[in-house]
């Protein structure tokens, strides 16, 4: 029986341990019977709910806009256009009354 290469590092030295396949080079483990997750980052809101593209969120704290005197007030609605794997601002949103901007996920909750 031929085993598939590792999905992370493409190593051919994969071995099977019960239901899992294991790569000895990068230590990645996966179940070949389950579909692979895509590489979209997993981002949680202030309440711990997972967010995805297209979700509507509400701001839970007054936010100052960098380089401007504008403030986004509590309760302002936004639509997530894209999720970015970033340290500071993970959500590319269209914010009501403010336009397109990047927002940190811990300052919003799913509406």
Are 4 and 25 in the same domain? yes
**Domain hosting residue 51, numbered range:** 43-110
Res 99: pLDDT? 94
Are 58 and 22 in the same domain? no
Given the DSSP bridges, would you call strands 50-51 and 29-30 parallel, antiparallel or unpaired?
unpaired
Per-residue exposure over 53-92, b if at least 16 CB sit within 10 Å of its own CB, e if not: eebebbbbeebeeeeeeeebeeebebbbeebeeeeeebbb
pTM score of the predicted model: 0.65
* 3-class state of residue 23 by DSSP: coil
Model confidence pLDDT, tens digit, residues 28-73: 898 888 776 666 678 999 999 999 999 999 999 999 999 999 999 9
Res 33: pLDDT? 83
* Res. 6 pLDDT band, cuts 50 70 90: confident
Model confidence pLDDT, tens digit, residues 24-34: 998 889 888 87
Contact indicator for 31, 19 with CB cutoff of 8 Å:
yes
Number of domains into which the chain is organized:
2
């Amino acid at each position: 029986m031929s085993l598939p290469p590792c999905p992370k590092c493409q190593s051919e030295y994969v071995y099977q341990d019960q239901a899992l396949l294991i790569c000895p080079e990068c230590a990645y483990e996966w179940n070949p019977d389950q579909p692979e997750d895509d590489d979209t980052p997993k981002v949680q809101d202030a309440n711990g709910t997972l967010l995805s593209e297209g979700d509507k969120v509400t701001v839970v704290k007054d936010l100052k806009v960098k380089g401007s005197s504008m403030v986004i007030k509590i309760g302002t609605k936004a639509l997530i256009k894209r999720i970015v794997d970033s340290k500071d601002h993970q959500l590319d949103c269209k914010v009501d009354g403010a336009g397109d901007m990047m927002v940190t996920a811990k300052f919003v909750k799913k509406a």
